[in-house]
Chains A and B, each alone.
Chain A
Amino acid sequence: MVGPGLGPALENANPLVFRRSGERPVTAREEDDDLPDAIDDREIFDLIRSINDPEHPLTLEELNVVEQVRVKVNDAESTVAVEFTPTIPHCSMATLIGLSIKVKLIRSLPERFKVDVHITPGTHISEHAVNKQLADKERVAAALENSHLLEVVNQCLSARS
C-alpha cells in the first residue's frame, strides 16, 4: 500500500510536540465487577496513542496525529471511527499511519467491531485516496500478507523500551 522505505531527509524535520495526557481515571462503576463495562472513546484512544510515528521517535499522541476527541465508539452498535491528522498535508506516511491504527484496533478489539479509520477532513492533499485504501479490506488484507510492510507496521506498534 505504501512505500515504507525512509528517505534520507525527514519530510517534517521539526514537528510540534504536544504533551501526553495523563492516566485514565478509573470510575466507581468500573470498579464494580458486577456491572458490564462498555468500551468508550478513552479506551480506544489509549490503544492508539502510544503508536510510534514511522519517522520520529515520538508517539502519534505527541505529534497530535491522534486525539481523544477524534475517536467515536459505539459499543452497542459495535462501531469504532477514528480520525487522524497527518502532521503535514503532503505526508507520504499517511497511509502507513492509518494502517497501523487500523491494525492495532483490529488486533485489540473483539471481532464484532467495525473499525473505520479516516484522515481528519481537510488535512491532507490525498485525503480521499488514502481513506479509500484504508476502507478497502481486501487491499488491507493483501498488504498485511506482505512481510516487509507487516514488519514496518509492527515496528510502529511495538512498545518503545
Chain B
Amino acid sequence: MRAGSADGSGMAALTLSCRLAAHPDSRCWFVAWSPSGALLASCGGDRSVRVWGRQGENWVCQAVLGEGHQRTVRKVAWSLCGSYLASASFDATTCIWKKTPDGFECVTTLEGHENEVKSVAWSPSGSLLATCSRDKSVWIWEVDEEDEYECVSVLNSHTQDVKHVVWHPSQELLASASYDDTVKLYREEEDDWVCFTTLEGHESTVWGLAFDGAGRRLASCSDDRTVRIWSSDEQGEPGVACSSTEPSWKCICTLSGYHTRTIYDVAWCRLTGAVATACGDDAIRVFEEEPLAEPQHPTFALTAHMSRAHAQDVNCVAWNPAEPGLLASCSDDGEVAFWRYQRPECC
C-alpha cells in the first residue's frame, strides 16, 4: 500500500509493514515507544496495557498489563530510562509499572484526580511526572530514589477538561492542551509551578501536542481540523531585541484545509523533523517543512496522505525514537499499525 500524491512527483511514501489486532473488540487509544525504540506500549478500552516487541518483521505481544485499572486506559508513557511505564485511566488513577525480568509489576497507584485521568508524561530529568484530568487540573508529581511519588503542584489554569500533557525535550517546561481550546505552558518559579503563558487561536478542543527536537517549536492539533505551529522567540532573531527574559510563544504557521474531521494526535519526529497527524477521517498524513522558507515564517508541505490507514478514527501516531521513518498508529478499530515513511527525494 502506498500513499497517493496529488501530482505523483517527489512525493514521499507511507508503506504498511505490519498490522496487529492489539485490543480486539475495543478501542486502541494510544501507543508509546520505549526510549530505545525497542518496545511499543498500547492501551485501550479493554482496560489493558500491552507491550509489543519486534520479532523479525513482525511485532509480538510480550506482556499484558491487565490488573491495574477498572476502566479504560487512555494513555501510557515510558520513563526516560525505559524501566517504568505510567498508565492514565478513566478510573481516576495513574499506575506506575516497573519492568522486571518477568514482566511488569504495578509498583504505585497515584490517586487524587476527581475523575478521568486523560494523559501522563515524564519530565526529561525523569524526576517529575505530570498528569491531567477531566477535573480541569494538571498535577505535577515528584519521584524520589525510593520510588515514592509526591504531588508538588496542582495547576488549575484551564477552565475545562484537560486532554494532554507533554514535557519539553530538555527543559523542565510543561505544556497542556484542553477542551477550553487553549494550550498552556508551565515552569517552576521560586519553588512553585506557574502557568506563564496561554496559547490562544484554536477554535475548538486541542487534542494533541508535540515539541520539535530542539524544543523551540510546539505543534498542536484540534477539533477545529487545523494544526498550529507555535514558536518561542527565546533563540533570539538577529537584530530583534528581547525586552524581557520571558520567552514568548506565538503561532507562526497554521495547517488548515488538509483534514476533514477532528485531528486527535500530532507527532513531530526528533530524527527527521517530519510531522505526522492522526485524524477522525481514518487517515494518516505527514508534513515536512519547506527547506527554503524563513524559520520565523515556515511553510509545511503535505508529503504523504494515507487515506483509510485504519478502518475507523486514527487516535494516535508515534515516530520511533531510534529508527528514522518508522511510525506506529492506532485506531478505534482496536488495531495498531506500523508504517515506513520515505522522505521525498527533493528534500
Alpha-carbon separation in the docked complex, A133 to B332 (Å): 18
Residues of A within 8 A of B333 (CB): 111
**Interface residues on chain A, size class:** 10 to 19
Q: Please tell me which one of the listed residues A111, A135, A142, A145 contacts residue B134 in the complex, with CB atoms under 8 A apart.
A: A142
Residues of B within 8 A of A160 (CB): none
Interface residues of A in 13-56 (CB under 8 A from B): none
A139: Cβ under 8 A from any B Cβ: yes
Determine whether the beta carbon of B312 is less than 8 Å from that of A132.
no
* Nearest CB of B to A130, in Å: 14
Q: Please tell me which one of the listed residues A111, A138, A145 contacts residue B312 in the complex, with CB atoms under 8 A apart.
A: A111
Determine whether the beta carbon of B280 is less than 8 Å from that of A114.
yes
Determine whether the beta carbon of A111 is less than 8 Å from that of B311.
yes
Alpha-carbon separation in the docked complex, A138 to B132 (Å): 14
Determine whether the beta carbon of A138 is less than 8 Å from that of B74.
yes
* Nearest CB of B to A1, in Å: 11
Determine whether the beta carbon of B205 is less than 8 Å from that of A132.
yes
A141: Cβ under 8 A from any B Cβ: yes
Alpha-carbon separation in the docked complex, A112 to B116 (Å): 27
Residues of A within 8 A of B312 (CB): 111-112
The verdict on A132 contacting B280 (CB below 8 Å), with A138-B118, A139-B134, A142-B116 known, is no
B313: Cβ under 8 A from any A Cβ: yes
* Nearest CB of B to A3, in Å: 14
Alpha-carbon separation in the docked complex, A113 to B134 (Å): 27
B261: Cβ under 8 A from any A Cβ: yes
Determine whether the beta carbon of B134 is less than 8 Å from that of A114.
no
* Nearest CB of B to A11, in Å: 26
Q: Please tell me which one of the listed residues A111, A136, A141, A145 contacts residue B179 in the complex, with CB atoms under 8 A apart.
A: A136
Determine whether the beta carbon of A141 is less than 8 Å from that of B134.
no
* Nearest CB of A to B113, in Å: 13
* Nearest CB of A to B330, in Å: 14
A137: Cβ under 8 A from any B Cβ: yes
Measured CB to CB, the nearest residue on chain A to B313 is A137
Alpha-carbon separation in the docked complex, A133 to B136 (Å): 15
Measured CB to CB, the nearest residue on chain B to A78 is B282
Alpha-carbon separation in the docked complex, A94 to B77 (Å): 37
Residues of B within 8 A of A112 (CB): 311-312
Interface residues of B in 190-234 (CB under 8 A from A): 204-205, 223
The verdict on A141 contacting B280 (CB below 8 Å), with A111-B333, A112-B311, A135-B223 known, is no
Q: Please tell me which one of the listed residues A132, A135, A137, A145 contacts residue B90 in the complex, with CB atoms under 8 A apart.
A: A145
B 93-134 binary contact with A (CB < 8 Å = 1; else 0): 000000000000000000000011010000000000000001
Alpha-carbon separation in the docked complex, A154 to B134 (Å): 24
Determine whether the beta carbon of B280 is less than 8 Å from that of A142.
no
Alpha-carbon separation in the docked complex, A111 to B26 (Å): 12
B168: Cβ under 8 A from any A Cβ: no
Alpha-carbon separation in the docked complex, A121 to B116 (Å): 31
Residues of B within 8 A of A142 (CB): 71-72, 90, 115-116, 134
Alpha-carbon separation in the docked complex, A74 to B27 (Å): 24
B45: Cβ under 8 A from any A Cβ: yes
The verdict on A141 contacting B27 (CB below 8 Å), with A112-B312, A114-B280 known, is yes
Residues of A within 8 A of B74 (CB): 138
Interface residues of B in 259-288 (CB under 8 A from A): 261-262, 280-281
Alpha-carbon separation in the docked complex, A139 to B223 (Å): 14
Residues of A within 8 A of B280 (CB): 114
Considering the complex of A and B, which 6 residue pairs feature the smallest CB-CB distances, nearest first? A142-B116, A145-B71, A142-B90, A145-B90, A111-B312, A145-B72
Instruction: Contacts A132-B179, A137-B332, A145-B72 known; list 10 others, CB within 8 Å.
Output: A111-B311, A111-B333, A112-B311, A112-B312, A114-B281, A132-B223, A135-B223, A135-B262, A142-B134, A145-B71
Q: Which residues of B come within 8 Å of A, CB atoms?
A: 27, 45, 71-72, 74, 90, 115-116, 118, 134, 161, 163, 179, 204-205, 223, 261-262, 280-281, 311-313, 332-333
28 A–B contact pairs at CB < 8 A? A111-B312, A111-B332, A111-B333, A112-B311, A112-B312, A114-B261, A114-B281, A132-B179, A132-B204, A132-B223, A135-B223, A135-B262, A136-B179, A136-B205, A137-B313, A137-B332, A138-B74, A138-B118, A139-B134, A139-B161, A141-B45, A142-B71, A142-B90, A142-B115, A142-B116, A142-B134, A145-B72, A145-B90
